[in-house]
Homo-oligomer: A and B are copies of this chain.
């Protein structure tokens, strides 16, 4: 974790604690990095109880309730999928807020339509879904770190 990420996680924790809200996460390409960041803050058990690492399509269906139709029609890296991931995480963790991430961290898996660095973010904020796409540059490691940073900073803005 970078200094920036631990600072963002602290600010996010403060805001969640002030609202008495819970947060959860549903992670594909970041593989647990958002949960790891959130729990870098001492006392984070107050606002974080449960997170989901759903690396495969089957995991997204089983743990989060993403529909097979959504995955078939739009693919795992899509607005529709991250929205269903975030909604499922919030529901199954009984949380007001959830962050979902699905993207192509590389070095394999890029396509002309969805090149390496294409990351979809789903934010579930107290009943509302917001999804955003970012095209992130760098190697696998850099893409994942920037994705975690974006996820936290954007959640902070949306709260």
A48 at the A/B interface (Cβ < 8 Å)? yes
Per the bound structure, the CA–CA distance linking A31 and B50 in Å amounts to 9
B32 touches A55 (CB 8 A): no
Interface residues on A, range: 35 or more
- Tell me which of A13-21, A36-44, A120-128, A149-157 binds B: A36-44
A49 touches B56 (CB 8 A): yes
A58 at the A/B interface (Cβ < 8 Å)? yes
A133 at the A/B interface (Cβ < 8 Å)? no
A35 at the A/B interface (Cβ < 8 Å)? yes
Can you name 21 A-B pairs with beta carbons within 8 Å?
A25-B32, A27-B32, A31-B32, A31-B35, A31-B36, A32-B51, A33-B36, A35-B53, A36-B144, A39-B53, A40-B141, A42-B107, A42-B108, A43-B108, A49-B56, A49-B58, A50-B56, A50-B59, A50-B63, A51-B55, A52-B52
A interface with B by C-beta (< 8 Å):
1, 6, 25, 27, 29-36, 38-40, 42-45, 48-56, 58-59, 62-63, 93, 106-108, 140-141, 144
